[in-house]
Amino acid sequence: MDFEIKLIEFLQAGRSTFFDVSFQVISALASVVGVVVFSLVLLLFKRKLCFWYLFSYGFVYLAVSTLKATCQRIRPFNLSENIANIGDVVHGFSFPSGHAACATALAIFLAYFLFGMFKKKSSRVYIVLSCVLYVGLVCLSRMYLGKHYLTDVLGGVFVSAVICALGLLLKYFVERKKKTNEVKNGSK
């Protein structure tokens, strides 16, 4: 844990108004704001995918809330007087990071959505790199702002990635079963 405190202190050593504001904006994109905006975009273009995104995100939220209540890890700014609590006031516990989990869910479903639109390998590489960069910036922002440790953000990413992968796998099997039933009913 000492390493994680030192990492946050290192990030905050380069503090400036520009970084304070930038990282607060980045964090906001991985909160309710991001969920609502992305859900509206999916509703306009891919209603079924919107359902699966919100379905998966619901389980991500439930898992993160349960883990926070179970682990009850104190936030870095409450543990070390050398770490500033930058930006909004947060309550509750630290592990895992809900913002990192939210960003991961959004990135996974955004990549899935965009893969359907762009078939070129180079485009898909850019999509993946952009999504990874977004998640990385959100994780960095949560540490810079003094809200989370490295293991908090990694835990949030892991929990969300597993749940979203299972959600997309379930989507695949449900749609496959539906197509199979349509073929059976159409051939009778």
Catalytic residue IDs: 99, 148
d(C-alpha 139, C-alpha 154), whole Å: 8
Burial profile 61-98: b = 16 or more Cβ within 10 angstroms, e = fewer: bebbeebbeeeebebbbebbeebbebbeebeebbbbbb
d(C-alpha 77, C-alpha 143), whole Å: 10
**H helix or E strand, kind and range, residue 28:** helix 17-28
Q: What is the largest CA-CA distance in the chain?
A: 73
d(C-alpha 78, C-alpha 177), whole Å: 50
Please tell me the chain's helix, strand, coil percentages from 3-state DSSP, rounded to the nearest 5.
Answer: 80, 0, 20
Nearest in space to 52 (alpha carbons), one of 173, 146, 187: 173
